[in-house]
Structure 1
């Protein structure tokens, strides 16, 4: 028995007499949008992680040493270590997902570079803010303002990509990020090391 070939219909939408869009073209545009979302969403989370973890490390070091140079060195070490960790984790995850797909060999390296870059961008925020400050006490008070603004932007972009309410996402990102920084600072401020 011969198999019948099924043709999938193409729906044509007429905008006016001269223009029309096929369903196939619309689906291709949606796929392009989803590709952007696929790399942008993890990049936002990596940048957020870089910002919060580096700021927490720097604030913790500031609580112990009360030395701005120690905070900057700690932030730089946190940036390098975190970027390497993000790159390795992303490389391994993507490589294991695509193990059987010979045509996608370069994707794990791209994913690793993207994760490390996004983490580094986030980590640069507290480093740059601290580099601009001269006094330790001013740094601890002032560093939270610019960090909070950038965290709010990350929260809003993440919510936009998810299609969820922006205000709630911003508040959630700010709250949990502040908790991480306060816990790190609080654990070390009263301890004699």
Structure 2
């Protein structure tokens, strides 16, 4: 019988990469545009810099996610291979380890031993991977999925400030872009919170605060550079 509970743990892999990508896309592109604009650059140059930042950032996010998550996947594979060897060489010791894990979680030793025996008979490596190493199909590293999610959402996030550059008059570009980017970040916080089942307000405030800090610092550097030049 199916139960009505809705869990979101299976989303953590792609959701983390997607939120990271979208957040970076909005923050880095808006910060870049604000910094260039604060230096007194014309709209065409601002757009060129923004588009270059979008392409470079999306590729960087894809490569970074793929490499980092691949390293995690390699570690998981190596740990599972080692566990498989230990199961072959010392099955009794591995059974005892699994039993001890279930005892620590609250089962009496007799029941824990029976559970360990049945799970070992069903799929010993999966049982040890899940309960001893913390590796499961749901939470396993997926490099390609993370790379595509991060790069795609970065491009979408980065496109938003560039669209605003086209829509906002040059005289109001600095304040208009900053305000619209903060709105985009707040919406991202709300969407990511709803997708992950987290508190909406805390998520929106967290994303917006760090985005505002990044944009403010970059605009300040751009203004100082423009004055110096």
TM-score band (shorter)? Answer: 0.7 to 0.9
Partner residue of 1:83? Answer: 58
Of stretches 92-101 and 64-73 in structure 1, the one that deviates more from structure 2 is 92-101
Which runs of no fewer than 5 residues in structure 1 stay unpaired? 1-20
The structure showing larger relative contact order (alpha-carbon pairs under 8 Å, at least 6 residues apart) is 2
TM-score normalised according to structure 2 size: 0.63
Give unpaired runs (5+ residues) of structure 2: 79-136
1:65 is matched with: 40
Partner residue, 1:8: none
4+ aligned runs moved over 6 Å, structure 1: none
Q: 1:135-154, aligned counterparts within 5 Å? A: 135-154=169-188
1:37/1:161 contact within 8 Å kept: no
Q: RMSD value over aligned CA atoms?
A: 2.7
Q: Compare CA radii of gyration and give the structure with the larger one.
A: 2
How far residue 136 of structure 1 moved from its aligned partner, in angstroms, is: 2.2
Task: Say if 2:22 is the partner of 1:47.
Answer: yes
Deviation of 1:148 after TM superposition, in Å, equals: 1.9
Hey, which of these two has a bigger chunk of helix by percent? 2
Counterpart secondary structure, 1:65: coil
Q: CA deviation at 1:161?
A: 4.4
Deviation at 1:54, TM superposition (A): 0.6
141, 151, 160: which is aligned to 1:125? Answer: 160
Instruction: Give, in whole Å, the separation in 1 of the partners of 2:73 and 2:184.
Output: 34
Q: Do the aligned partners of 1:87 and 1:115 also contact (CA within 8 Å) in 2?
A: yes
Aligned to 2:31: 56
